[in-house]
């Protein structure tokens, strides 16, 4: 049963990725100067994700719509997973790492991340 649920989740995630590819969101247009400022601000952001996670797809769509260059980190396994657990406190995706003024904060939940991005960009 556990394998079935994992396959179902992975399959539905892949279907969402295909739908996302077919129906790309409209991208915000900015002047070159404005985009450069936004790009500098997004250098302090890192998105920990699982590729086929529906909530991660939702968050990536918002990032694409806002025309942001946010580094994505696959937390499925490896060092990014370990970093997410040890520094962020838990393995939950999507998770946005925000580095500001020498301090690092971790924002979980796709709606909270999208709200933060909408507010700041």
pTM: 0.87
Tokens of 65: 């719509």
**What domain range includes position 88?**
2-23+43-120
Query: Could you tell me the CA-to-CA distances from 101 to 1, 59, 120 in Å, in that order?
Result: 47, 24, 16
User: Which positions of the chain have pLDDT values less than 70?
Assistant: none
Domain CATH code at residue 96? 3.40.30.10
Q: Can you give the pLDDT at residue 16? A: 80
Q: Alpha-carbon distance 61 to 65, whole Å?
A: 6
* Contact of 67 with 28, CB cutoff 8 Å: yes
What is the structure's pLDDT at 18? Answer: 87
**Model pLDDT, residue 120:** 96
In a domain, 31, yes or no: no
Q: Is residue 110 a part of any domain in this protein?
A: yes
């Amino acid at each position: 049963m556990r394998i079935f649920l994992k396959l179902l989740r992975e399959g539905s995630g892949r279907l969402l990725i295909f739908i996302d590819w077919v129906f790309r969101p409209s991208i915000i247009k900015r002047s070159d100067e404005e985009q450069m400022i936004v790009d500098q601000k997004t250098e302090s952001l890192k998105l920990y994700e699982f590729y086929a996670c529906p909530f991660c797809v939702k968050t990536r769509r918002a990032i694409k719509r806002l025309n942001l260059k946010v580094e994505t980190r696959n937390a499925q396994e490896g060092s990014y997973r370990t970093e997410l657990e040890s520094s962020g406190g838990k393995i939950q995706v999507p998770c946005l790492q925000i580095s500001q003024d020498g301090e690092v904060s971790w924002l979980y939940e796709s709606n909270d991340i999208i709200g933060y991005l909408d507010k700041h960009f």
